[in-house]
Homo-oligomer: A and B are copies of this chain.
Amino acid sequence: MVLSEHAVIVDDGRVTDVLPLVDAREKYQPSVFIVKADHVLIPGFVNAHTHAAMSLMRGMAEDMPLEPWLQNGIWPVEKRWVSAEMVRDGTELAIAEMISGGTTCFSDQYFFPEIVAETAVDLQMRAMVGTPIIEFPTAWAADAAEYMHKASDLVHDPYADHPLVSTCFAPHSTSALSDKSFLELRVLADQLDVRTQIHLHETAHEVASTLERTGKRPFDRLHELGIINASLLAVHSVHMSATDIEVFAEKGVSVAHCPRSNLKLASGIAPITSYRDAGINVAIGTDSAASNNTLDMLAEMRAAALLAKTSAANAAALSASDVLRMATLGGASALGLAKETGSIEPGKWADLACVDLNRLHSQPVYDPVTQLVYTASADQVTDVWIAGKHHLDNGQLTNIDTDHLLRRSSEWRDRFATPHS
């Protein structure tokens, strides 16, 4: 629904009223009154899947398929360099970029999730922090038991009822965990009432090689283990059968669609019009900047819309307003935050983004929604509020020292680019 000449009233971080501007002028005497002509005000984007700290690896390994990209490009650097300090700097770079582009909430999966959460709190960004769970040792934990132990700690305290940060379990993919660990994770998730997210059927290779190795596709194994349920966020899900899609719909699974990462790693194009038609909630994510290479939800929405049209051989298959909903309320629903964010409604947090359409390449405007989705770029986002706090003010980040941040980012690049001896 598009409203013009309307006002959004914010009090104590939450939206309290949405009404015609003329009525607002009579009814309210605000302490701060902001007018934005030629702009659209939208719910802040919910980036439903990223690995924020990997922004430091943006451009580090290019033009490679998923498996060698991970094995030869990403993992050796992670093995050597991942640390609390690296995660803090990388997450800050990602949050700065995301806020600048209108994103007010992100769902993360990375090592040192307690640092991701702390960084989000420090910068007052909304986040769903996924705690990694795998069998093999990293700088963060030694085995599945320790990952789960640390993950449970994070859920309990201090994020059980935090206004900005919530947590979930993030087993990397089916190959990363034994059946025993998955069953433990499921029990723990039920006990703690915590959601789960997992990379699932991202590439044809993942599906085929798992089937060959284990006799089961990843989807079938998860289904048997009882992980395919309403608190699951399935990430990517590019290679899915019609039956798989029926099961997703029946169980109430959400899908995080990451179209540009899927293209860049040559993974394919997820069947999101089929998901939508089956009644599955679809969210949109950027994936990490190491495979995309920007955390730009405007670009991601546009890619989702354009790809769906050609995939379905129907230019009407997915409209601009469909993808705008996926990138906002769809994301909030996928993270279990639909009561808190994702739309501009009284009672929800004031997580808002303002986009300037008065640019050469966005003019003239026939319809603000199609013009937003099909023409706007991240630099047109002028103002962003998270829980009512003004984070981006006329294009300037209010809360982050970007010069210092860029210097630290360059230092990490110099370390990562050092040849492995």
Hey, which bits of chain A sit against chain B, CB under 8 A? 56, 58-60, 62-66, 69, 93, 96-97, 100-101, 204, 260, 262-269, 289, 292-296, 299, 303, 305-307, 309-310, 312-317, 319-320, 358, 360-367, 370-371, 374-375, 377-379, 402, 405-406, 409-410, 412-413, 417
Q: Looking at the assembled complex, report how far the CB atom of A109 sits from the nearest CB atom of chain B, in whole angstroms.
A: 20
A266-B309 contact, Cβ under 8 Å, with A69-B315, A316-B63: yes
The answer on a CB contact under 8 Å between A410 and B320 is: no
The answer on a CB contact under 8 Å between B375 and A294 is: yes
The answer on a CB contact under 8 Å between B375 and A59 is: yes
A310-B379 contact, Cβ under 8 Å, with A59-B366, A361-B296, A363-B409: no
Q: What separation, in Å, do the CA atoms of A310 and B309 have in the docked complex?
A: 16
The answer on a CB contact under 8 Å between A100 and B361 is: yes
Q: Looking at the assembled complex, report how far the CB atom of A245 sits from the nearest CB atom of chain B, in whole angstroms.
A: 20
Chain B residues whose CB sits within 8 angstroms of the CB of A267 once the complex forms: 310
The answer on a CB contact under 8 Å between A364 and B266 is: no
Chain B residues whose CB sits within 8 angstroms of the CB of A417 once the complex forms: 366
Known A263-B306, A266-B315, A360-B405; further 9 A-B contacts with Cβ < 8 A = A58-B371, A62-B367, A66-B315, A100-B360, A263-B310, A265-B309, A294-B375, A364-B409, A377-B377
Q: Looking at the assembled complex, report how far the CB atom of A356 sits from the nearest CB atom of chain B, in whole angstroms.
A: 11
How many copies of this chain does one complex carry?
A: 2
Q: List 25 A-B contacts (CB under 8 A).
A: A56-B364, A58-B362, A59-B365, A59-B374, A63-B319, A63-B370, A65-B316, A97-B361, A101-B361, A260-B306, A263-B307, A263-B310, A264-B374, A289-B361, A293-B371, A293-B374, A294-B375, A296-B361, A296-B377, A358-B406, A364-B406, A364-B413, A365-B413, A377-B377, A379-B379
Q: What separation, in Å, do the CA atoms of A243 and B240 have in the docked complex?
A: 33
Q: What separation, in Å, do the CA atoms of A402 and B362 have in the docked complex?
A: 13
The answer on a CB contact under 8 Å between A266 and B363 is: no
